[in-house]
Amino acid sequence: MKPPPLPADTLRRIIKVGRFNGMVVIFPVALVCALIALAMGDLVSAGFGLMVAAAGWSEWHGAKLLQRREARGINWLVRSQLYLMTLILVYALERMGSYDPEYIRSLITPEMNQIFQEAGLDVQQILPLVRLTFYVLYGSLAVSTLIYQGGLALFYRRRADVVRTALDEARRAGGIQPPPALG
């Protein structure tokens, strides 16, 4: 049986995960999506993208605090995941509540309608499939965020005591001073 990792190793892993995940959320996910939404004139989605970027920044900031040996960084990591999870769940639920079959019907072009007819399908047969796909897509997003962001929040939270131990050990070993008190 493999022994548990040393507190210092756990701290390094937490910092690595937090920095990487925070950057992934900020750049390729949130800001790119926000810019695409803005280019399309969708201000609500662009704003949502910026709020998601803030969650990524919070996680990155928490990792940087831990790197500077500030124990409060672990709280930033946990809260960033809970904030991001909440944002995504609200978004998924809002999208699921906004399904409009008439809007979907208005998106069907004459060319699409002709393709359906050639395949022996009527628009009335397609609409339930589109609705199912719509709900499966946003339901999957909600479930996956519960698993990923919820799991990552638990990952960080369950290691908070080990992180604090690693920071205390580093202070006792010398060289690392606690951050100055504010105020």
Q: Is the pTM of this model over 0.95?
A: no
Nearest alpha-carbon partner for 52 in 10, 81, 76: 81
Non-local CB neighbours of 85 within 8 Å, separated by 6+ positions: 145, 146, 149, 150, 153
Q: Please, which pLDDT band fits residue 175 given cuts at 50, 70 and 90?
A: low
Summarize pLDDT for 88-124 with one digit per residue, the tens. 999 999 999 999 999 999 999 999 999 989 999 888 8
Instruction: Encode burial over 116-142: b for 16+ CB neighbours within 10 A, e otherwise.
Output: eeeeeeeeeebeeebeeebeeebeebb
Summarize pLDDT for 29-87 with one digit per residue, the tens. 899 999 999 999 989 889 999 999 999 999 999 999 999 999 999 999 999 999 999 99
The DSSP secondary structure of 78-94, one letter per residue, reads HHHHHHHHHHHHHHHHH
